[in-house]
Amino acid sequence: MELSRIPLTRVEVPYEGSSLPGYFYRAPGDGPHPVVIQWNGLDSTKEMMYYSGFPRMLAERGISTLMIDTPGSGEALRLRGLTARHDTEVWAAAIVDWIEANAAELGADPDRVGIVGWSLGGYYAPRAAAFEKRLKLAVAWGANHDWAAVQEARRNREGENPVPHYWDHVFWVWGVDSMETFIQKTAGMHLNGVAEQITVPLLITHGAGDRQIPVRYAHETYDQAVNSPRRELRVFDDPEGGTEHISIDNMPYVAGIIADWIAETFAAVDGSEVSGQAATLHPVERSGP
C-alpha cells in the first residue's frame, strides 16, 4: 500500500477497552466527503473488502470508505480476541463516534455516514441502521434476515456449509464451547421486529442461486422494512450473473450498482450531487417506491 501510494490509512477505533482495526480509504479532493462503513460477514476480513475493488469504486464517486474488522472477524477476532454479538448497533455507535471525533482530519462529513455489510453483514448492517440513527443509509449485500433459523437448518443438515469445520468455526467466532451456549447467544440474530425500525434508505441485493442464504430472506427484509423512505430490492439472476452468495460470481458488476445507489442516495440527503460529482448510474431494477 505504501509503495503504491494508495490513499489508505490504518486506523484503530476504540471499542470496549480495546479497539477495532480498520482501513480508511479517502476519496480524492478536500471534501468533506460522505463515508461508508463497510463490515464483514462470518469469515471475511477488511483486506478482502479492499481487494474487492468496492472502496475504489466509492472513491471515484466522491465517497470515502472505512473498512472495519468487527468483533468475530478478521484481526479483531484473531489478534484481539473480540467475539461476535447480535446487537451490532453497539459496534456502529463506537465507529460513528470515531468518525465524528476525527471528521476534520479524515475530510469526512459526519452527517452523511452510511453502512454496508456483506454475507452475515446482511444482518449486521440493517440491525445497526435500525437502532443507530446517525446512519443515513444501509445496504444488505446479501440478505441475512434470520441467521438463527439458518443455523437450525444447518443443524438439520440442510443446505451447504460455507466453511470447513463449520461448527468449530462459529463457536470460535462467538466465543462459546457448546451448541447450547451458541444457540442461546445467537437467538437474537434475526430482523423480525427490527427491520420495521429502519427509517433510512435501504438497499438489499441477493443472488437468486445463493446456496448459503435462501433468497426468500431478501424478500422478508424488504417486506418488513416498511418505514424505510426508500427501500429497494435487487435480485441477480442469469444471464446477468451475480447469482451466487454475495454475487461473488460477478462481484465487480454488483459492486458498481451498489456504489451507484449509495452515491445517488447520499446526493439526495442534502439535495446536491456528492462532492460536486454526478454519479454515472447503471440501470437498476427497483422494487417498491
Is there a catalytic annotation at residue 228? no
Of 44, 64, 119, 228, which residue is the catalytic one? 119
State the residue for C-alpha cell 433459523: 149
- 8 A C-beta contact, residue 117 and residue 36: no
- 8 A C-beta contact, residue 215 and residue 207: yes
CA atoms within a 13 Å half-sphere pointing along the CA-CB vector of 277: 19
152 closest CA partner among 176, 110, 182: 182
Q: Kindly give, in sequence order, each residue whose CB lies less than 8 Å from that of residue 98, ignoring residues fewer than 6 positions away.
A: 11, 13, 14
> For residue 239, is the peptide bond before it cis, meaning its omega torsion is within 30 degrees of 0?
yes
Q: Outline where the chain has alpha helix (H).
A: 46-51, 54-60, 74-78, 89-101, 103-106, 121-131, 147-155, 166-174, 179-185, 216-224, 251-270
Give the integer Cα–Cα distance in Å for 233 and 287.
5
190: three-class secondary structure by DSSP: strand
Give the integer Cα–Cα distance in Å for 204 and 231.
8
- Give Cα 19 distance to the centre of its chain: 19
> Of how many residues is the chain composed?
289
Give the integer Cα–Cα distance in Å for 99 and 66.
9
| Active-site residue list | 119
